[in-house]
Amino acid sequence: MKILTNKEILNNAVQLVQRAVSIKNPLPILAGIKFETRENQVILTATDLDIGIRCSFPAEVIVQGTTVLPAKYICELFRRLPELPIFIEADAATGSVTIQYGQSETRINGYPPEEFPELPLPEGINSFTLPGELLKEIIRQVVFATGNDENRPVFMGVLFEINGSELQVVATDTYRLAWRKVIIENCEETAINLIIPGKTLNELLKIIGINEQIEVTVTKNQILFVAGNVWLISRLIEGNFPKYKQVIPQNHILKVRLKTRDLLDATERASLLAQVKSPVIKLNISENKIIVSSYSEAGRVHEELDVYQEGETLQIAFNAQYLGDVLKVIGSEEIIIELTGPLSPGIIKPVGDNEYLSLLLPVRLREE
Amino acid sequence: MPSLLKRAKDIELKLHALVAEVRELKDELREMEEENSRLRTELAAVYREGCPGAKSSGEAEVKYRGFINLLDLYDQEYHICNLYFGRRRMGECLFCMAFLRKEMELDASGEDGA
């Protein structure tokens, strides 16, 4: 293989695919990035067998071929290359790869390319497209609620429920739950349920741009996202997502409406002084006011917010971190909080929008 | 100083003993796991019996007791939801709460009907 390219293109592509490189995997080849040429394109691939990222870029291909280079060295090297034309030449016989820039060169020993696992692009069973901006928003609004308990893999993923042109996205770690509904255009009439690993979606967030259409292809156990010249392939989580609709309370005894920013700021300040291990903040709701308070050995915080209140008065406590997580992604200026009781989950949703909601279980207050 | 061969043999013996012990531990563990899951099923059965309750006048009371039992179990930090019934609970659980809420609504509607 011999190619001619420049630093910027090369570095961008390598930084993109290296997210999927697996350093700790017992298979040493997975610590490498595969370079292959196809006519005047160079395709870079990395995978940890759970997810795979592929990126192609145009280059002057002098000799076609394939090589696998250790990500650890080339990531750092490519970042530090000078702004000069760069030749990469692989010697198929010895496996060593020469990187030439100006009058200098670095030689790196590659891995045998035939050991690199094939990354079959799934044949589409179902496919649809989503605007990148919308997909990013959906992921951000939901993915924070995924769990990290490996004994319960279903909760480490996000459920995508497609029914006709309606897409419902849900994640829960059993302490909180986030749900979002959107209508997708140009989708075939299908009904599919898939659980996408939270990790995959977090990676996806980093690689998709706002102004592009994302093509999504789903098979039985894999999902492929294509964003321009970048592919991300991931396995899906097997298993059944529990019936989540039943956990959403239908009747509330108290409803408040307030500015998102006000509550977020107060929550963040109050959590500064809350116990570090479990940052609990108390909300005291009465007479069109919320009193946000927290205390610990370090001191105490007491904040009053004006709200619009409907219903009974209530004292409730939440994990400040969890409350902050929701408020940061809700993306609306004003929110409505619906409460059913001091022990029942609270519902947080944007004003005038029935397409998003987040559930949060209160923390039980110990008798003082 | 014993010969290298002797030392290697000694280590081999020790390793054999260790493997045997691990195997024993594994057997015990399996037995305990089996017992644990049996107990869990039994517990679930007992609570289920407590809930639907006897007919006649005592029905409401039995139902109520079943609910209190579940609440107690939840308070003792066990899951009562169908996902993880009888398992240790770390923090609150949305599914348990949903189950409790459903039970409570059933109770309430039962009382209204009476």
Q: pLDDT per residue over A256-278, tens digit each?
A: 999 999 999 999 998 888 777 77
Does B106 score more than 80 pLDDT? Answer: no
**What pLDDT score does A186 carry?**
66
Provide DSSP, A125-162: SEEEEEEHHHHHHHHHHHHTT----TT-GGGGEEEEEE
Is residue B114 a part of any domain in this protein?
Answer: no
Structural domain total, chain B: 1
Look at B97 and A174 and tell me if their CB atoms are within 8 Å. no
For A240, the closest chain B residue by CA position comes to B83
Nearest to B107 by CA among B52, B55, B54, B48: B52
- Chain B residue numbers touching A175 (CB-CB < 8 A): 91-94
**What pLDDT score does A119 carry?**
82
Of B83, B94, B102, the CB nearest to A175: B94
CA distance A294 to A278: 11
The mean pLDDT value of chain A amounts to 90
Element housing A258 (H / E) = strand A254-259
Is residue B24 a part of any domain in this protein?
Answer: yes
pTM: 0.81
Of A174, A340, A363, the CB nearest to B95: A174
Of A340, A359, A364, the CB nearest to B94: A359
**What pLDDT score does A18 carry?**
93
Kindly report, residue by residue over A40-78, the tens digit of the pLDDT: 999 999 999 889 999 999 999 999 999 999 999 999 999
Is residue B102 a part of any domain in this protein?
Answer: yes
Kindly report, residue by residue over A219-245, the tens digit of the pLDDT: 888 999 999 899 999 999 999 999 999
Q: Does B83 touch chain A (CB under 8 A)?
A: yes
Mean pLDDT of A86-92: 92
Look at A175 and B83 and tell me if their CB atoms are within 8 Å. no
Q: Does B17 touch chain A (CB under 8 A)?
A: no
**What pLDDT score does B49 carry?**
67
Q: Does A345 touch chain B (CB under 8 A)?
A: yes
Mean pLDDT of A350-365: 90
Judge contact between A139 and A133, C-beta under 8 A: no
Q: What percent of chain A clears pLDDT 70, i.e. is strictly above it? A: 98
- Which of A207-221, A276-290, B62-76 is the least confident region? B62-76
Judge contact between A109 and A95, C-beta under 8 A: yes
Task: Note down the domain range covering B41.
Answer: 2-109
Is residue B56 a part of any domain in this protein?
Answer: yes
Q: How many angstroms separate the CA of residue B35 from the nearest CA in chain A?
A: 20
Widest pairwise Cα distance in chain A: 80
Partners of residue A296 on adjacent β-strands: A299
